[in-house]
């Protein structure tokens, strides 16, 4: 247990995975159930709407759990695709070796030289255009802060 942050992150990830798996099964409401008497209600323990309901009377706990399940599946799928593509690319580079390996490594170095913030901003505008401009400005500020954080000098350089 050398890295406490990694262990804490793993524990949080396991808790989230358990929540998104178990919550829809134990809830008395399904994803599509509508409680006409509880539209836009606050969280209520007696009615079983622990996160409240939306404007259509649907249980938010189940909807958050299902959304979390989808988000975890997208993350796992993206990680699997990255592992598969990286393994194939690295295997091909190692197998061919020589000048081909050098060219493939230079391509990766060129790709890694681009700051991701500049790539995320145009891509984000494609998907976030329906959000108000002030919301996009906050997003850009967060990305700029993240970029500044990632570009700071390493406090403990490796030997």
pLDDT in tens, 45-104: 787 777 788 888 888 888 888 889 998 999 999 999 999 999 999 999 999 989 999 999
Taking CA 103 as the corner, what is the angle to CA 98 and CA 105, rounded to the nearest 5 degrees? Answer: 95
What whole-number distance in Å separates Cα of residue 54 and Cα of residue 29? 13
Q: How sure is the predictor about 121, in pLDDT bands with cuts at 50, 70 and 90?
A: low
What whole-number distance in Å separates Cα of residue 102 and Cα of residue 126? 35
Q: Which residues neighbour 63 within 8 Å (Cβ) at sequence distance 6 or greater? A: 31, 54
What whole-number distance in Å separates Cα of residue 87 and Cα of residue 100? 16
Q: How far is CA 101 from the centre of its chain?
A: 32
pLDDT on residue 146? 66
pLDDT on residue 39? 79
pLDDT on residue 129? 63
């Amino acid at each position: 247990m050398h890295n406490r942050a990694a262990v804490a992150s793993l524990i949080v990830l396991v808790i989230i995975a358990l929540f998104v798996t178990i919550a829809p099964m134990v809830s008395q409401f399904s994803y599509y159930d509508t409680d006409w008497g509880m539209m836009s209600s606050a969280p209520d323990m007696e009615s079983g709407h622990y996160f409240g309901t939306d404007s259509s009377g649907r249980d938010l706990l189940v909807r958050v759990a299902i959304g979390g399940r989808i988000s975890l599946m997208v993350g796992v799928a993206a990680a699997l695709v990255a592992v598969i593509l990286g393994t194939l690319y690295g295997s091909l580079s190692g197998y061919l070796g020589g000048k081909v390996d050098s060219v493939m490594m230079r391509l990766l170095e060129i790709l890694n030289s681009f700051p991701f913030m500049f790539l995320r901003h145009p891509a984000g505008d494609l998907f976030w255009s329906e959000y108000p401009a002030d919301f996009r400005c906050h997003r850009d500020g967060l990305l700029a802060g993240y970029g500044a954080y990632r570009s700071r000098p390493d406090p403990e350089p490796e030997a």
